[in-house]
Each structure stands twice: as structure tokens, then as C-alpha cells.
Structure 1
Amino acid sequence: MNISVWSVNQFLKLGDHVEGRDNRAVQKTVLGFMKLLFPTGEPTPEEFDEIVEYALEVRRRVKEQLNKRKPDEEYTCINMSYVNCRGEKVVVYYPESKYSEATQTPRKSADVEILRENAETDDFLLSGGLSGITEKSVPARDNKWQEKTLNILYGDTGYNYEVLFVGYMENVQVIESQEPYLVHSYQMNNLVRFAEIVAKTGDCKQFKLTTKTGETIEEKRIQESLEQLKAVLAEYAVDFEYTFSELIPDRFIHLSNGWEITLGRGLHIYQNQGRNYFLMGTYDQALKPCLECKIDYKRMKYRQNLS
């Protein structure tokens, strides 16, 4: 039997907390066991589930150790799961740490109920749709006109651009953005998503962008993409101007109504989900898991002339 990653993925159904690197690691482990254990045949659905569970347990061991050693939130999504042949979502632990408080509260700052040894079950039935997925809290949207520092933790969801920016963009005629990294397709996509917010507000007449040029021929195609964005924004009566500079000290957004938004990661606050287009957040930013970052909202002491 010619076993490949593609054929494995026909049956492999991974659930919560399985991120890009986890997905690849589990795929390779499952593929290796399939070649070793079933070189000339196929496993039963139950045997395949056993292989997947073992692969997730091995990956979890790695991820838990990384989380214990890293001070930030990068490796806190350790409760990885899969959907078995009976349609049940199974969270995979490993015996030594299953009831450890450090394991059950992987986040550095969280109020999480600890799993005790008398817990009835680790699995629950997917009753349809997304009803089996634990609901995450969505950040409050009453952020209009407040000076604040927003600390986003690794794996947080609910932070689309509407939540982050719209409350500060009322009566804005000019927006100036400094965003050095636009050489990859996902970075340009983030810029387009922000441009959609600019167009939807209806107040902005001019959008100024400063970015860096790419070093390779492929990266230098950024100018072609920016020209296309310029043409599209013109249809919404927004004048889009862009300039290139190699001296960009920080990433920020200046608004002509007096607000300055400083972004530690720029517009690129989301985790890279690879090319798996069936993950939640592929099309809705509010469902995208975030990277750890900080965003500052401040009134400019000396209002700049952005016109």
C-alpha cells in the first residue's frame, strides 16, 4: 500500500489546540507508524485511532516541556484533541502529568478549573456543528476613545480589526501607517483587511503607508500589489499613497483625529495557520488565534498635521 500524507489526512481529524507545527509533527508520526505496522494492509478505524492518540501524546510531551521552560504564552495550547471513528472529540493527555496543576493551568495568567482524578470523562460527543468546542471569551468592544495598553496573550481569539481599530477611527480624514513587513502574501492580506476597515468607516479620505522594499525579485513585487490596492481604494474615494524606506524604527498607526496606535507586531498579530483552510479563523479574524503582543492607544501630545 502506498501510504502518503495525503492518504493519512483523509482519515485524520484533528481538533482543538493543534497548531501548524503540531499538525505536521502528528502527520509524520502517524505516517511512520502506518508504514511500520501496516506495510501491506490497512488498519481498522479503532487501530487508526490508537495510532493518532499515541502521536498526539508524544507531541503533547514535547509541548508541555516547552511551555514549562518558556516564560510567555507561545506553547500554552497543550490540550490537543482529535475526532475518533465514533465522532467523539478526545483530548489526549499523558499519564504522568494528567492531573498536574501545572498541566491543567498552562497559561501564565488564567483562572482555570483543575481536572481532578474523579472527573467522569476526558471525552465528549460532538453533537453537531461547533457545539463541542469550548467557547472562548470575546474582548469587550467598548474601546472607543480610551487610552490603554492592550496585552494580547498567545492563543487569544476575538481580536479582529473591527475590535482593535474602528472605535478610534471616527471622524478620521487621514490615516498614516508605518508597516515594514509586507513581503509575504499573508502580510499583504492583513494590509488589505485593514484597508477594508478604512473603506467601511466612510470618513477617511487619505491613507498613507510607509514600508520597506523586499530584497529578492519575488519580494519586490510588493509594489505591484500596492498599485492594485491603490486602484481599488480609489473606487471608495480613498487616496492611497505609499512610500518605501529602510529606516522604520517602529510600527504605528497615526489618525488625524489625534490618536496614535503603536503595534508591537504591526498588523500581523495572528498565528500562522499554514495552508489548512479548514481551521477556524481562516476567513473570520475573530476566530484566528493570536500571537502574544502589545498594542498601545494614546492621544498624541502634539497633534501632527496629517493632511
Structure 2
Amino acid sequence: MSTLQEKILTHFEGKVVRKDLTSRVKGNAVVPAYVLEFLLGQYCAINDEEVINNGIEKVKDVIKNNFVHRAEAEYVKSTIREKGSHKIIDKIFVTLNDDDNFYETSFANLGIDHVAIADSIVKKHKKLLSGGGVWCILTMGYDSSDGIKSRWVIETVKPIQVSGVDLEEIIEKRQHFDTDEWIDLLMHSIGLNPEFFNRRGKLIQLSRLITHVENNYNFIELGPKGTGKSHVFSELSPHGVLVSGGDVTSARLFVSNTGKGKIGLVGYWDVICLDEFEQVVGSKRADGDMVNIMQNYMANKSFNRGKETIQAYASMAFVGNTKHTVPFMLRETHLFESIPAAYIKGAFLDRIHLYIPGWEVNILKESVFSKEFGFIVDYLAEILKQFRKYDYTNQVDQYVDFDPSYTGRDKLAIRKTFSGLVKLIYPNKHMSEKEALELIDFAVEGRKRVKDQLYVIDETFKDSPVEFSYKINSSNKKIKIETLEKLNGEIFDGAAEITPTEDPDKSTVKAEIIAPGLKEKEIIIRDNQKGISYKKLFAEYLKGATEITLTDPYIRHPHQFRNLLEFCSILIQNKKKEEEISLHVVSWNDVEYTPISTANFDEITESLRDSGIIFTYEFQDLHDRSIVANNGWKIKLGRGLDIFEKPAFRFDISEVMQEQRQCRNCEITYIRQID
């Protein structure tokens, strides 16, 4: 067991569950993960294999004997009739029958409706009236008496959700985990193995949770199919509801102007996610009134019911699939092209706080899902719900001062995103400046993605352009933020280099594109950035060099030796056929693995023999990473040559084309050693 897993069990035993157990007990039950983990938490929330195995069998028995499968509904009804009373697990919907003055219930799987439910139960669990349905454990009775109106009797109802979560305990125990460990615990908790994600990838996944910790937060994610966009909203929490795009109406979301003017979903749920948002206009014409109502709600946290103004706190999430690649959208249309036309209007889109790049998320394969301990999702959901009471938006002012060109909506969006991420990752508000700036950068980029598209969609926004930059309070350095897809697009378009330039006030600008030219510089490559290659990074700076020393202590795994060969190929392309270049590699490995590394280096030596590259190597215990050439340039490598993420697929175009590979965050510095 890893150190992290030991920590998790030490501090949260009884509140965590092994994530692979959910799939082991689910079978063919169409039930959210929070329902299953609620049950697993009763029997399996401990690291004892015998207890876990026994618990799994108990949960399987509960699913087998109590969960209502639609195909077996008649058998379950017969069981209730024969036994007189029987416990079931089903999703129920409660409405008021005002003609007969009683609350009545319909059952999603059992297939019965108009069943009376006691007023006391409804008053105790008001969310039963939300219209979205609530999973419950119910004791159902059957009355065989003659002359009665309804034979079905609801004896007890227990909504499936954890109670009594101590938020102060979470805040206190956060100090026992470093930032990487806490982020990985959250990743395990939402069912994903953190080993398959870099830091930016983890932030993208966790940003989906901001809607659960921030009131009135407006979030959108558009990307390819199969990347888990709706998973967090459908499986994580009993406080959120997933609505299919084709079922979206103003009456369902807000209020019906006919009948009794019943308040819609925003009055009952913390999060409303409109799934497959691009299909809102599928078989129905877009509801123009709903666009206006939603636009007003997203800005003012309220909507009108007749003469009455209703305040609500539900966050809105819009998730959908893209139609085209990102380069196509940036060139030909815009990044909102796949959503219904009725929503592609500046006034609506300007209300969105964060647009995360769903196209950066790989399709989720079985190997990506966690098999280790994480919070029981319902326990996590209650933690997130309690955090909605707190406001961390002003924390950002401790670290940065935003450019004066920001609008009020820009600042609000960034502050709310930052606040949400702090609640998730630093609930005790203890973070370094570097950690805070990481969240600020993410928040600014997510808002800039919205604003950049508004400049394309609505000409009026061009009248007041925003410079998405800020000054760090501690150093007065100026940081300018660019979206990653913009950088990728510009890199593909030309052979420009990536460099932070210096403004007259000596401020730092992150990853700005400038015209090519050999000069001292420091570049920053971001997680998931594409369009990078060894040729673009090194070729011009190594031209004319006849002696090169590459120092990289981590050339030991197969992909790292492949990187070395690709570096050698750049040197071969850089020189004339008759020229020779001496390449000396200084690396390191543990004693037991040195023979393997030696054999690999010897193979490379032989493969380069006729190429004009005279290859030599040695082992030294060091940590420096650099390229030193006798043409006067030294290039400091933050990660050595190992700057690329592993390919996502067995047959991946990125294997043969570096520009298609996603990068890992690193810095590269070019230093002139002679005039």
C-alpha cells in the first residue's frame, strides 16, 4: 500500500471506500455511484480484505433483494404483496395532488404512481418535491383490505445521503497531506487514477466540482464524446441533477406560467447540469423565453414568478460535444459553435465564469479508473455542500492586482473560480504564493477562453478589449495569460519560437509568441501544450556546433531512450552530410539497472555509427540537465529531454510526430556563453 493510501486510511477510515468495489457490486443495476458507495460505506469502509469481501457480499445481497430493476418490477410488487411489507431501493418523484389534497409518489423502476406519502415525510425531506427524483431506501407495504382506494403504502423513507459531516475535521486533517497528495485523494474520490493525469489534467477534472462548492456558478465544458463530462454531475452527488438537453424547458428549470406556477429545479438543487447541451434544439424549437430567463438568472441569481422575484442558489453547468477540431473552430467559427444558436449571444455567454477545454481530456479507458481508496462520494458531496456557505473570493487580493481593463464580470468569474479551487484543494486556506498563482492562472485562462470567443461572436465586445494580465503583489511582476489552444494554433501556423519577452517595466509575459531570433531567453512550456518539437526548441541554437554535451540523469526508460534518438535525428538534419558532430551524453542510473542502460547506450552508438554523429556516454551521480555546445550556447533543461506525455493510445500519431504530443510543464533557458 502506498504512503498516500496509508494516510487516507489513517485519517479517514470509515469515510473512504476502495473505488474498484463499485463496479464489482453494480452488475446491471442502473444506479448512481453515490447510491452504491453509500451502501459500500456501510460495510466496506476499512482496509481489511476479509471485511471487504464480506461487505461486498452483503451489498450484493441488498442490490439483489432490494434494488428494483425495471424488468423485475412485477416480481417485486408480488413480493411486497406476499410479505405485506418489503424494503426497496428506487428513485421516487413526489408531487402535490391539490384536487384530493395529498402528496403522491411515483416510482421510477417499480412503475407505480399516485401512491400517497405522509405529509411529515415530505416536510422532513423537502427535496422529494424537486421534480428531479431522489434515490431512497423505502419500506413499502401492501393493504389487501376491500374497498380501499390505493393498496400501496409507503411506511418509511430514507433518502440516500450521508449526514453529520464535520467540515472542521476536513479543514484540520488537510494539514496531514501535501498538495499533491490531497489532489490525488480528490482524484481517487471522483473515481480516477491520478497517475494518468498531469497537474493541469487534474485541475481540469477537479474544476467540474466547483459548481458543487460555489453558489450561482456558471460552468461550461465542450469536448469530444467519451471523456466523462457528465459523470461528476450524474454520479457524484444527491444535491445535483443531470437534465438531458432535449428535456430543457423554462417551466422545468424555473417556473411554469400555467397551472399553479410551480418553482422548477433551480429552487431545489445545488447544481443543474444540462447534458448534451448541443441537443437542446434537437426535436424542439429553442425556447427563446428560457434563454432570457436563464441569462437573467445567471447574472442576478433570481427569476420572476408573476409579480414575485425568486432568489435561488443553484449553479449551472452546460456540457456537450464539439463538432469540429479546435484548430478548425479557431479558424472558421468559434469555440461555442456546437451549442444551440439561440444561446450564441453575447449577453448569455458573458455570464459564464469558466470554460474548461474538454478537448484536452482523453477518452476514459478502464485503466484510467481508480482502484484505490477515496472519499465515499456521498461523504464528499456533503463536504462540498457545506462549503457553499463560505466565500473565499477575496483571498485572491492577497496575491495579485488585476489589470484595470477587466470588467466586473471578468473579475467575478475569476474570483469565483479561484474561490472554488481553494475550497477544494486548500480548504484550510494555507497555500504558498506559487500555489495560489497556479489557481489564478487557471481561473484567468478559463475566463479568457469565454471572452476571446465573445470578440468573434459579438462585435460590441471589441470596443472594450481586456488584457488578461495581473501584477504579483510581492514582486510587482506582470503576468500575461494566454489560452493553451491559442498558443498551439500559433505554433502550428508558423515557425515562431515561444518565449517570455521583457516589457519595458521588466515584467514577465508567459509563453508569448514572437518572431524567431537567436537571443538569450527563458521559455515556459505548459502542461498539455502541443506544437512543440525538439527541432523548434533546439535546431537553430545548435547549428554550427561540432561538439555537444547533453547532461540528463534520467535516460533509463524506453521512452527516454527514444527521446534521445529523436534528439540525435535533429542533429543529423542540422548538419551537412559530410560533417561530423561529437555528442557526449552524461546520465545516471541505479547500480542494479546500469547494465541495462549501458546496453541501450551501446545500441545507440552502433545505430549512429554511419550518420556522422560520434556518440559517447558516461555515468555520473548528478542532477543538472543541460545542453552545452561549442558554438557558444548553453541550454538549461528543466526536465531534460523528457518533456512529453506518454501517448494515450497504442497506435498514436504522436508517436511519429512530436508536434502532436502533449507536453509536461517545464522551463527551458537559453544562455549565451561567448560573444
TM-score range, shorter chain: 0.5 to 0.7
Counterpart pick for 1:101 among 353, 358, 378: 353
1: CA distance, partners of 2:191 / 2:27: 25
Name the stretch that deviates more: 137-146 or 259-268: 137-146
| Residue 236 of structure 1, CA deviation | 1.0
Aligned residue pair count: 230
Structure 1 residue identity aligned to 2:202: Y
Does residue 227 of the first structure (1) align with residue 620 of the second (2)?
Answer: no
The equivalent residue for 2:202 is: 75
SS at match of 1:224: helix
Equivalent residue in structure 1 for 2:658, among 285, 289, 295:
285
* Structure 2 equivalent of residue 112 of structure 1: 449
Distance 1:83 1:177, change over 3 A: same
Say if 1:74 and 1:292, in contact at 8 Å, map to a contact too.
Answer: no
Matches within 5 A, 1:85-164: 92=230, 94=233, 95=273, 96=315, 98=317, 101-102=353-354, 104=356, 107=442, 110=445, 111-113=448-450, 136-139=488-491, 140-141=496-497, 143-164=516-537
Alignment partner, residue 269 of structure 1: 643
Unaligned runs of 5+ in 2: 1-19, 31-185, 206-220, 234-272, 274-314, 319-351, 358-440, 458-484, 498-514
Q: Cα deviation per residue 1:252-283 (whole Å; 9 max; x = unaligned)? A: 00011100100110000112336x22445232
Q: Say whether the 8 Å CA contact 2:187–2:202 is kept in structure 1.
A: no
- The runs of 5 or more residues in structure 1 that have no matched partner are 1-27, 39-57, 120-133
> Structure 2: how far apart are the matches of 1:197 and 1:90?
38
Does the C-alpha gap of structure 1 residues 77 and 287 become closer, same or farther in structure 2, counting only changes over 3 Å? farther
User: How far did 1:101 drift?
Assistant: 1.9
* Residues in 2 aligned to 1:289 and 1:200: alpha-carbon distance in whole angstroms: 23
SS in 1 for 2:671: strand
Query: Are 1:170 and 2:543 counterparts?
Result: yes
**RMSD (Å), alpha carbons:** 4.0
Change (3 A) 1:29 1:113: farther
Alpha-carbon distance in 1 for matches of 2:584, 2:444: 38
Q: Distance in 2 between matches of 1:33 and 1:104?
A: 33
Give CA deviations for 1:168-227 in whole Å, capped at 9, x if unaligned: 12111111110101111111111111011111112552001111133434x531111111
Using the size of structure 2 for normalisation, the TM-score is 0.30
Give yes or no for contact 1:81–1:90 (8 Å, CA) kept in 2.
no
Residues 69-112 of structure 1 deviation map (CA, whole Å, 9 limit, x = unaligned): x9x6453444585537xxxx995474356266246488355331
Q: Which has the larger radius of gyration?
A: 2
Per the TM alignment, residue 137 of structure 1 is displaced from its structure 2 partner at its CA by 2.0
Q: Deviations over 1:105-125 (max 9, x none)?
A: 883553311699xx9xxxxxx
Query: What amino acid is the match of 2:581?
Result: K
Structure-1-length-normalised TM-score: 0.62
Any idea what SS the aligned residue of 1:186 has?
helix
Secondary structure of the structure 2 residue equivalent to 1:166:
helix
**Higher relative contact order (Cα pairs below 8 Å, separated by 6+ residues):** 1
> What are the superposed Cα offsets for residues 139-172 of structure 1, whole Å, 9 maximum, x if unpaired?
3245441211110111111111111111112111
Identity of aligned residues (%): 18
2:640 maps to a residue whose letter is: G
Once the two structures are superposed, what CA deviation does each residue of 1:229-260 show, in whole Å capped at 9, x if it has no partner? 111222112211101111x2410000111001
Where does residue 253 of structure 1 map in the other structure? 627
Q: Does 1:206 align with 2:582?
A: yes
Greater fraction of residues in helix: 2
Report how far residue 35 of structure 1 moved: 3.4
Q: Which has the higher strand share?
A: 2
CA separation in 2, counterparts of 1:269 and 1:173? 25
Letter in 2 for 1:137: G
